[in-house]
């Protein structure tokens, strides 16, 4: 291993053995030698342009200059752009406005995305580093993920270009399963969902969803009994990881309307405006993990650490500050125990510790595990194994904690996570008998891959 990359956002390798990469979602570019040494920061996001990340770097043929995306996720897409940088200089040059990755191909074309859907190629002089002529459309159906500013295409030369279309390639369905894995109904229609949570009474679902044109990520509430779907957020920034208040009347979620991520509260019925309640000043991944049943504490993420907010004071305090990553923290129904996933042993495993008291820790999973969930009576703990199986372990959480051997219930077919904010793929009914899972949709008529041959020659005709 050369170095840690908690939430990598692209990398490129020069012929001189230099690897240029983005280690996390709120970072600039770093360089490291392929033979091994300490990573060195090469670029730093320009906060005056609202930049929070430099990502998807690509070396030019000289092995010194490179392209990268300067990105923000506040909804101000006009500030996103592809830049030219150099290993030998701190200077950079803005080449073209876009909110996605770019590629360079000999004898001199820059490929990039326009309007978050149309892939174009434009002549690019790699000696003077300037664009010329008009962009030529290559495809207007390229799959785009706004949560990471990534267009799915790959080009090896002026002869071969592969693109992934948006037709059914990333669809998922909110699907109920019983403990044997038998489907037991669906909620809503297929879409691009992530981070679902059942309401405290189990009657509604909150989820964040990417809209059909791939530009926005918003919070939605689904009410199966009424057949109603309600959009809760409308700001152009990304809204993610919603959590219900204990009484089911409000939704707490994460949004990056500023340079740093903040936490917002809004009434679940859509009334009133959302209210900013807390956040961190540092540029780091943040999201809400859980809200205690008594309403006194909210578990939140700061980078790879676990913090909590006192409620209603909204004061942030550290809980687990370690050199490893802590994810998916969940409080037991009685609020005494904390379940979470951590990679302290090298792979993600599920652990339980006393909440607000670090005296003791028990490993529940074996062979990998993430996304712990408690049954409402606190007598069972569920999680997803490394191979995607839904697991269950009987637990006793009284004066001390005991967990039985985990048993596999069934194989899930979850949609794979895309961004560092893609953290909740399922929830479980209060009695532990049904699981609502964001399940990948395999459409027979989906045509996600397109191969374009001799595309550069076609441009010159």
* Residue 436 φ then ψ, to 5°: -100, 115
In a domain, 6, yes or no: no
In a domain, 5, yes or no: no
In a domain, 2, yes or no: no
Res 214 pLDDT > 70: no
Same domain, 392 and 268: yes
H helix and E strand count, the chain: 1, 42
pLDDT of residue 169: 60
In a domain, 198, yes or no: yes
Total domains in the fold of the chain: 2
Q: How far is CA 146 from the centre of its chain?
A: 10
Task: Please state, in angstroms and rounded to a whole number, the distance separating the CA atoms of residues 150 and 368.
Answer: 28
Q: Which residue has the higher pLDDT, 293 or 77?
A: 293
Pairing state between β 160-164 and 172-178: unpaired
Confidence class for position 213, pLDDT limits 50, 70, 90:
low
The pTM is what? 0.87
Task: Please state, in angstroms and rounded to a whole number, the distance separating the CA atoms of residues 416 and 438.
Answer: 9
Q: For the residues 51-59, what does the mean pLDDT come to?
A: 94
Give the containing element (helix H, strand E) for 381. strand 380-385
Same domain, 98 and 26: yes
CATH number at 296 reads: 2.120.10.30
In a domain, 4, yes or no: no
Same domain, 455 and 385: no
Per the structure, the complete domain to which residue 319 belongs is given by 172-440
Given a contact cutoff of 8 angstroms between Cβ atoms, the answer to whether 92 and 49 are in contact is: no
Res 25 pLDDT > 90: no
Res 116 pLDDT > 80: no
In a domain, 219, yes or no: yes
Same domain, 261 and 139: no
Same domain, 25 and 131: yes
Q: How far is CA 249 from the centre of its chain?
A: 26
pLDDT of residue 349: 97
Got the DSSP string for 43-80? ----GGGT--EEEEEEE-TTSSEEEEEEE--SS-GGG-
Q: How far is CA 16 from the centre of its chain?
A: 32
Burial-class residue 133 by CB neighbours within 10 Å (0-12, 13-18, 19+): exposed
Same domain, 392 and 350: yes
Same domain, 156 and 206: no
Res 171 pLDDT > 90: no
Res 221 pLDDT > 90: yes
Q: For the residues 206-215, what does the mean pLDDT come to?
A: 80
Specify the range with the lowest mean pLDDT, choosing from 178-192, 389-403, 417-431, 445-459: 445-459
In a domain, 432, yes or no: yes
Same domain, 245 and 149: no
Same domain, 244 and 189: yes
Confidence class for position 38, pLDDT limits 50, 70, 90:
confident
Given a contact cutoff of 8 angstroms between Cβ atoms, the answer to whether 150 and 247 are in contact is: no
Q: Calculate ∠ Cα 236-209-392, nearest 5°.
A: 140
In a domain, 253, yes or no: yes
Same domain, 124 and 202: no
Same domain, 183 and 135: no
Specify the range with the lowest mean pLDDT, choosing from 38-42, 76-80, 130-134, 300-304: 76-80
Collapsing DSSP states into helix, strand and coil, what is residue 49? helix
Res 346 pLDDT > 80: yes
Res 445 pLDDT > 70: no
Q: For the residues 6-31, what does the mean pLDDT come to?
A: 89
Q: For the residues 39-53, what does the mean pLDDT come to?
A: 90
Same domain, 122 and 231: no
Res 72 pLDDT > 70: yes
pLDDT of residue 232: 95
Q: Which residue has the higher pLDDT, 72 or 385?
A: 385
Task: Please state, in angstroms and rounded to a whole number, the distance separating the CA atoms of residues 304 and 79.
Answer: 27
Specify the range with the lowest mean pLDDT, choosing from 152-166, 180-194, 428-442: 152-166
């Amino acid at each position: 291993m050369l170095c840690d990359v908690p939430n990598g956002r692209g990398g490129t390798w020069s012929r001189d053995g230099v690897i240029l990469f983005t280690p996390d979602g709120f970072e600039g570019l770093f360089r490291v030698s392929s033979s091994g040494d300490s990573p060195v920061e090469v670029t730093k996001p320009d906060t005056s342009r609202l930049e929070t990340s430099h990502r998807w770097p690509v070396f030019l043929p000289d092995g010194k200059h490179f392209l990268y995306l300067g990105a923000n996720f506040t909804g101000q897409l006009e500030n996103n752009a592809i830049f030219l940088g150099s290993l030998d200089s701190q200077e950079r040059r803005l080449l073209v406005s876009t909110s996605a990755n770019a590629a360079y191909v000999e004898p001199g074309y820059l490929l990039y995305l326009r309007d978050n859907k149309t892939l174009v190629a434009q002549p690019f002089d790699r000696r003077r580093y300037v664009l010329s002529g008009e962009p030529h459309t290559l495809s207007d159906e390229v799959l785009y993920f706004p949560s990471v500013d990534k267009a799915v295409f790959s080009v090896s030369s002026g002869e071969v270009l592969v693109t992934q279309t948006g037709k059914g390639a990333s669809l998922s369905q909110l699907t109920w399963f019983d403990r044997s894995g038998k489907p037991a109904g669906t909620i809503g229609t297929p879409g691009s969902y992530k981070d679902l949570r059942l309401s405290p009474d189990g009657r509604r679902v909150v989820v964040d969803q990417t809209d059909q044109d791939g530009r926005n990520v918003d919070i939605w509430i689904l009410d199966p009994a009424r057949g109603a779907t309600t959009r809760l957020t409308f700001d152009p920034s990304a809204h993610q990881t919603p959590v219900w208040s204990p009484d089911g009347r409000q939704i707490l979620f994460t949004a990056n309307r500023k340079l740093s991520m903040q936490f917002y509260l809004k009434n679940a019925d859509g009334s009133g405006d959302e209210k900013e309640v807390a956040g961190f000043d540092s540029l780091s991944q943040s999201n809400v993990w859980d809200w205690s049943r008594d309403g006194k504490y909210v578990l939140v993420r700061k980078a790879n650490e676990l913090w909590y907010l006192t409620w209603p004071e909204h004061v942030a305090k550290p809980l687990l500050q370690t050199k490893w990553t802590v994810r998916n923290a969940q409080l037991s129904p009685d609020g005494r125990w904390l379940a979470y996933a951590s990679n302290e042993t090298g792979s993600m495993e599920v652990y339980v510790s006393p909440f607000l008291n670090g005296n003791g820790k028990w490993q529940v999973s074996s062979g990998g595990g993430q996304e712990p969930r408690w049954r409402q009576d606190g007598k069972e703990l569920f999680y997803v194994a490394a191979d995607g199986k839904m697991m269950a372990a009987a637990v006793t959480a009284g004066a001390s904690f005991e967990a039985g051997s985990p048993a596999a219930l069934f194989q899930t077919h979850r949609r794979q996570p895309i961004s560092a904010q893609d953290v909740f793929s399922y929830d479980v009914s209060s009695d532990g008998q049904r699981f609502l899972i964001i399940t990948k949709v395999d459409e027979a008529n989906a045509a996600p891959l397109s191969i374009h041959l001799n595309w550069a020659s076609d441009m010159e005709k």
